[in-house]
Structure 1
Amino acid sequence: MPQGGPFDKSAIRADVAPVAAQNESKLSLALKTADAPDAALEDRDIAKEVDAKLGTINDDNNSFQGLRPRRRSDEMSHSSYSDSDDDEAQDFEIPLEPENEENTSDYIPGGYHPAYIGEYYKGKRYKLVRKLGWGHFSTVWLAKDTEDNKHVAMKIVRSAKNYRETAIDEIKLLSKLNHTDPEHPGHQHLVKLLDYFDHQGENGVHICMVFEVLGENLLSLIRRYKHKGLPIKFVKQIAKQVLLAMDFLHRLCGIVHTDVKPENVLLELEDVEQIVQFLENAQKQRKEMLKRVHSTRVSSASLGDQTSPIDISASIDEANDFPRTMSRKGRLSRRQTLITGSQPLPSPLRSKSNSFFVSPLDTNQTLPGTTPFRGSVSNFDMEDLSDNHSRVLESLSSISISAEQRLHQWEPPKAEELADDDILRVKIADLGNACWIYNHFTDDVQTRQYRAPEVILGAQWGCSCDIWSVGCLIFELLTGDYLFDPTEGRSFSKNDDHLAQIVELLGPIPQELIAVSRNGKLFYHSDLQRLRRIKNLKPWPLQNVLMEKYKFSETDAHEITDFLSGMLVPDPKKRMDAAGLSNHYWLNDCNVEGYVDREVGTRGEDISGWYKEVRLHHHHR
């Protein structure tokens, strides 16, 4: 096997395919026909509703054209809605350095909106509370919905026309979810778009998208388990929920996600308001202490203390710089800077009959995997404040920063600590790369490690490519490693190595698929059996890998292989569909509610767009 074969984690997650430029809405392209099927007609009604609400922008600040951005979730950094590409990144610390934030040079007409804590949107309805993260496409904020009295996540999209059009496409896809059968058990496992609107700013008109608040993603959970795999119980629960969501997308909505991976599956937060209240209480305690320190030190200085009030104030201001604001050249005052430090909302889990949840009722509470909370106003008297300035400042940090880090640094529960009825709840997020079954925006889809063979070969693809990605995802949850992690060498490309790894694990790719693919002859000899640039393949079947490398028992390895083998079928036509897989016996004891009446083993025979794009009459790409 060439260097960097299966199970090597060295490749970078950001290896995603290039994208084509487009300047028209995906949906509008697909609907240029009078004979569109009923589903497309329904989608056209949704498109009209979205277009009417957002309208057309002709402002100069929004006129930048450029390439149509195909937003990848792995571009979104330091956010509870996505993750950094660096596998060595410290996910659980509050990013405070300028290099961890978006560039100030992107705060220009057509670029980011200079949002700030306390800013209102949609009149006085939404008030920004905390920056959660940022990406090439948008910044993401925690906001208070003053009308419904709850917290929400809000994406503020860059204002240039190409970003605006991409956001509108995503809103139409998300709106389809909202308009489709809410009784389907998969509906609850997809992120919910709550609102969207335009916001006029100094850099143009920005689309704002409002979502329910979710926690960290599965890549963060994989890292918490130190890449040694999650408890099988958790993996079964996640698998069932993801499959139900996929069935809802594929069969009911006519949507292909095209980017299923750990970064795009997020933990549900059982009580967002309690988490926010915990953080607010910690901050209030810290501010109260700062006031007392300041007043005490000023009094001491006036009585002859050698430390001046100015020195003390500077130290206090430094300690109180939370959340920090910054520029690329270093720290600036709040008025001067455009950038607020990102603080992803923590997602600590604790077991409590039926679900995992966080309940930080007050700042003195001990959360799982932490030591008791250190520091409160009552822990110091006024003599302490004047006698030991440095100790007080250190303790002040423990009141809010330590409290925050405790939430971020929780230890995940071990398998033996789980109760029978504990459930880890997840939702699939980020439809920024999704498409309609009747209009594939591009053929360059899926993140490398989760890319299906038909996509690598340049053959037709459809909903079943998502199922392949789900199989790769589940293996990664079980083991902590990629299933396929190709590299390039002097004489072969990543695509060559990827195909070789697939063949070694699963057997030959069907000659029929290679023959009808656009790039088959680039990778295979004329017999369509032998790879051109990689010889001497070393087969290592999946069940053997699970037992020999990852030390699963023979029974577990057999059952896992039986489950995954229905997804990891090289022929996209023969891949099992999500609803049938959700009823596989391996998931019988996962305790996740939700059932779709479909036999195990169905292979998308009745699902439109299962393995290829649906061509509408008179529709030309």
Structure 2
Amino acid sequence: MTKPRPVQMSVTIDWSAQSPMIKCSLYLVELYKKCNPQFKWIRQIKDDGIALTQPSAGVRNDGLDNVNDDFIFRVGDVITPTAQTSTARRKPGGSVYLVEAMMGQGSFGQVLRCLDMSDHSTVGVKVIKNQPAYTKQAQLEKEILKMIKQADPHDDRHCLGFVDAFDFYNHVCIVTELLGDDLYTIIKEGRYRGFSLDLTASIVAQVLDVCCLISDLGIIHCDLKPENILVDRCLPAVKVIDFGSSVFENKTIYSYIQSRYYRAPEVIVGAKYNTQIDMWSVGCIAAELFLGRPIFPGSSEYDQIFRITAMIGPIPQEMIASGRNRRKYFVEEITPGVAQTRLRLMTMQEYHSLNEKTPPHKNHSFVKDTIAKTIDAYATQLLHENEKSQRGKADRRPFIDFLRRTLVIDPQQRLTPRQALAHPFISGAAFSEHWQPPPDKPIPSQSPHSTHRNPFSEVIATITAPITRTDSSPQLNSLSHPQQPQNVPTRLAAPTIGSVESS
């Protein structure tokens, strides 16, 4: 156990511009000093000098990086621009971040919890690996976050708040606000029980607002999933994070995108894609928030498309024919008397005979033949466990209809973000099976303050504010369950915590 190291901290504050709440919380120490000049307090750094990066042996970048090209950080290190590259507005003392803890390491690099020495706020600093490919993608992520920040200056569109970006000894650093736990971890800690329909609708509405914002900017998130939706202080408030895989709609250079459970059919078959792939992910997320488990838990990409077609229907011939993976998952079917051949999905036996090392298909008892049967079966299970279950008794028709309209194989028939916001499940309006989505016609922004354009000269459209639900926000109660349910699909990644609403 190392002795805590004292850190002298000083900050220049414009007291007239601060609210009483900020003065008594964020700047409490400075307030004490202002009231009593004799008051002394020094922040202590626990475990100062303890290595956070593993492995911690310096072998590259003049000994600053390890064998994986990650910068070697220790508790108490200071991160500050090594060149005049910071995008933050200059604060007294400049951009200086004190490393407190490691929040996570991945293929892209590291995420650290840091103290902003200029205002004592806690932030997250994403430090990218010192490799050309990651550096290039990080530069794009930085530009995307800056675009979102400029399009959403008041930070009320449910996107991760951007703070700063700069270079640090050949590593790109992206500084953002620090949020709470991700939705997957909350579901996991609730024993994969899922959320109520009201809470699901509240969360999905915020994600749809993000989709409206970024689609108007011509941005595709490319990795929407519960792990990338974090709680903003407390549920139902959430924010979407991780734009590290994002691309611009007219620069879709990647073919392997989206986490498997949330991967759109057009991506799997290798066809052209656009912002509508995010709407497929939204549908998958909405189903999982209620079920507590992915609705398409594929063990491989073939298994994923097999599950999608089994529940929703076949892939359109035009989509298959235009996809680069048509020979990988599909075979020609010749019908006697018909001149034109038809492409169909390989059977399991056909595919596994060609790909022996592919993980086998696993039957999950909660997955049924259709979307409606899957949702209704889980509600019936909840009622069987508790005859007073509100989720079991709730009217599921609007939810099922919403899933049917977002989980559409043809992206042109899929609801757009604005149309989805108008759906009765999200808006809270009276439900009708004959509901028709409104036309999606964003109006180009005429605001004199909106002068920012994306790098490809696409006009940023005026953003439609999210539709507020008419019912009140649900109460959240922590849930404990004596036994973890069976058939929980294995996740490839499992980040971070919280409580869920009981059934």
Shorter-chain TM-score: which interval? 0.5 to 0.7
User: Aligned partners of 1:249 and 1:106: how far apart in 2?
Assistant: 39
User: Aligned partners of 2:394 and 2:312: how far apart in 1?
Assistant: 20
One-letter code of the match for 1:515?
A
Q: Is the 8 A contact 1:102 1:135 kept in 2?
A: no
Answering whether residue 169 of structure 2 is matched by residue 193 of structure 1, we say: no
| Other-structure match for 1:169 | 140
| Other-structure match for 1:341 | none
| Other-structure match for 1:207 | 172
One-letter code of the match for 1:246?
C
Q: State the Cα distance separating 1:224 from its structure 2 match.
A: 1.6
User: Aligned partners of 2:202 and 2:230: how far apart in 1?
Assistant: 13
Deviations 1:374-420 (CA, angstroms, capped at 9, x unpaired): xxxxxxxxxxxxxxxxxxxxxxxxxxxxxxxxxxxxxxxxxxxxxxx
| Other-structure match for 2:371 | 542
| Other-structure match for 2:269 | 457
For structure 2, the residue ranges without an aligned partner over 5 or more in a row are 1-49, 81-93, 334-341, 351-362, 381-390, 430-434, 445-455, 458-503
TM-score by length of 1: 0.50
| Other-structure match for 1:36 | none
Q: Is the 8 A contact 2:260 2:301 kept in 1?
A: no
| Other-structure match for 1:160 | 131
| Other-structure match for 1:516 | 322
Question: CA RMSD of the aligned region, Å?
Answer: 3.3
Q: Is the 8 A contact 1:577 1:602 kept in 2?
A: no
SS in 2 for 1:266: strand
| Other-structure match for 2:286 | 474
- With over 3 angstroms needed to count, the CA separation of the structure-2 counterparts of 1:151 and 1:574, relative to structure 1, is same
Correspondence 1:70-89 to 2 at 5 A: none
Deviations 1:105-147 (CA, angstroms, capped at 9, x unpaired): 5763252222222222336732222322222322222222222
Q: Is the 8 A contact 1:238 1:426 kept in 2?
A: yes
User: Aligned partners of 2:102 and 2:240: how far apart in 1?
Assistant: 21
Which of these residues, 111, 115, 123, is aligned with residue 144 of structure 1?
115
Which of these residues, 423, 426, 429, is aligned with residue 238 of structure 2?
426
Which of these residues, 103, 123, 128, is aligned with residue 99 of structure 2?
128
One-letter code of the match for 1:150?
S
TM-score by length of 2: 0.61
One-letter code of the match for 1:601?
P
Q: State the Cα distance separating 1:476 from its structure 2 match.
A: 0.9
Which of these residues, 431, 435, 442, is aligned with residue 254 of structure 2?
442
- With over 3 angstroms needed to count, the CA separation of the structure-2 counterparts of 1:427 and 1:531, relative to structure 1, is same
Q: Is the 8 A contact 2:252 2:273 kept in 1?
A: no
SS in 1 for 2:332: coil
Q: State the Cα distance separating 1:166 from its structure 2 match.
A: 2.2
| Other-structure match for 1:390 | none
- With over 3 angstroms needed to count, the CA separation of the structure-2 counterparts of 1:556 and 1:534, relative to structure 1, is farther
Deviations 1:575-608 (CA, angstroms, capped at 9, x unpaired): 1101111121112359xxxxxxxx9625767799
Answering whether residue 221 of structure 2 is matched by residue 221 of structure 1, we say: no
User: Aligned partners of 1:118 and 1:128: how far apart in 2?
Assistant: 5
| Other-structure match for 1:95 | none
Q: Is the 8 A contact 2:422 2:438 kept in 1?
A: no
| Other-structure match for 1:257 | 221
Q: Is the 8 A contact 2:368 2:374 kept in 1?
A: no
Q: Is the 8 A contact 1:156 1:206 kept in 2?
A: yes
Q: State the Cα distance separating 1:469 from its structure 2 match.
A: 0.7
Q: Which piece of structure 1 moves more, 123-132 or 465-474?
A: 123-132
SS in 1 for 2:191: coil
SS in 1 for 2:157: helix
User: Aligned partners of 1:102 and 1:566: how far apart in 2?
Assistant: 45
User: Aligned partners of 1:543 and 1:121: how far apart in 2?
Assistant: 51
Which of these residues, 384, 392, 395, is aligned with residue 556 of structure 1?
395
| Other-structure match for 1:52 | none
One-letter code of the match for 1:194?
V
Which of these residues, 95, 99, 117, is aligned with residue 75 of structure 2?
117
SS in 2 for 1:227: coil
| Other-structure match for 2:427 | 588
Q: Is the 8 A contact 1:496 1:533 kept in 2?
A: no
SS in 2 for 1:246: helix
Correspondence 1:281-360 to 2 at 5 A: 356=234
| Other-structure match for 2:336 | none
Answering whether residue 317 of structure 2 is matched by residue 532 of structure 1, we say: no
One-letter code of the match for 2:206?
Q
For structure 1, the residue ranges without an aligned partner over 5 or more in a row are 1-97, 270-355, 357-422, 488-493, 591-598, 609-615
Question: How many pairs were matched up?
Answer: 341
Q: Is the 8 A contact 1:106 1:112 kept in 2?
A: no
SS in 1 for 2:163: strand
Q: Is the 8 A contact 1:189 1:241 kept in 2?
A: yes
Between structures 1 and 2, the one with greater helix share: 1
User: Aligned partners of 1:448 and 1:267: how far apart in 2?
Assistant: 23
Where relative contact order (Cα < 8 A, 6+ residues apart) is larger, the structure is 1
- With over 3 angstroms needed to count, the CA separation of the structure-2 counterparts of 1:550 and 1:529, relative to structure 1, is farther
Q: Which has the larger radius of gyration?
A: 1
Deviations 1:40-75 (CA, angstroms, capped at 9, x unpaired): xxxxxxxxxxxxxxxxxxxxxxxxxxxxxxxxxxxx
User: Aligned partners of 2:305 and 2:254: how far apart in 1?
Assistant: 21
User: Aligned partners of 2:144 and 2:253: how far apart in 1?
Assistant: 13
One-letter code of the match for 1:509?
I
